[in-house]
Chain A
Amino acid sequence: QLQLQESGPGLVKPSETLSLTCTVSGGSISSTTYSWGWIRQPPGKGLEWIGSIFYSGSTYYSPPLKSRVTMSVDTSKNQFSLKVSSVTAADTAVYYCAKIPSGRFMDVWGKGTTVTVSS
C-alpha cells in the first residue's frame, strides 16, 4: 500500500526558505501517469494546492505562489521536495504531500507536517 511521509523543519524564520521532503513508500515515484503534489492548509483555513511534479521533472505551480516555489524529484530516493522562498507568517500552515493521478485529483495523502514561520 502506497504511503507518503512529509519531513522537514517545523520552524522557519521570516525571509528564509522553507524546505520539505516527501518520501514515497510501497510504490515507485517513477510513473508516467501520476504526478506528485504539495497542498497546504493555514491554521483554521482551507486547503491550497501549491504545485505538482512528474518524475520526469516537469513542474506545475499555483500562479499566486509560482515566483517563490520550487519542486524537485529524486527518483533514487523515491522522494520529492518543496522549497518556498522568502517566507512570511502567511506561509505558516500544515503542509501535505499527495499522489495526483493524471494531475486531476489527490488520492493518497501524507499525514501532514506543521511549519511555523516565526523569528
Chain B
Amino acid sequence: QSALTQPRSVSGSPGQSVTISCTGTSSDVGGYDYVSWYQQHPDKAPKLMMSDVSKRPSGVPDRFSGSKSGDTASLTISGLQAEDEADYYCYSYAGSYTLVFGGGTKLTVL
C-alpha cells in the first residue's frame, strides 16, 4: 500500500490542462518541501519531471509545474500533448533520508 494517495487516472484533450494530486501527511508532504514527480512511459525507466515541489530539471518543458498546499502536492501539465501520455508518480522525503511514494496516476490524452 502506497503512503501517498494519487488518483488512479486523469485525462484531458490536447491543449488542455490537467492536474495530478498527491496527498500525504504532515510527516512527509506537509512536513518538507521535498516532493518530486516522475514520468514513466511503458517499459521505460522513470524520468524526473519536478523536484523540491516546483523545481523543473533542465530539459523539462515549462508546461509542467508543481505546487503544494498543506499535505497535498500537485503536478499541473498545461497545453497537453500526445507525448505526455504516461504514468506519473509522486515521491516525498519523509525524514532521515527515507522516501515515501504514491501509487501512480495514468494520464490519458484523449
Contacts and interface: CB of A to CB of B under 8 A. Distances in A.
Interface of A: 35, 37, 39, 46-49, 52, 60, 62-63, 96, 100, 103-107, 109-112
Interface of B: 2, 34, 36, 38, 40, 45-48, 51-52, 57, 89, 91, 93, 96-104
Nearest to A103: B97
27 contacts: A37-B99, A46-B2, A46-B104, A47-B38, A47-B40, A47-B89, A47-B91, A47-B101, A47-B104, A48-B101, A52-B99, A60-B97, A63-B98, A96-B45, A100-B99, A103-B97, A103-B99, A104-B34, A104-B93, A105-B48, A105-B51, A105-B91, A105-B93, A107-B48, A110-B45, A111-B45, A112-B45
Nearest to B57: A107
Given A47-B38, A47-B89, A48-B101, A105 B52 contact: yes
A109 B47 contact: yes
A100 B36 CA distance: 11
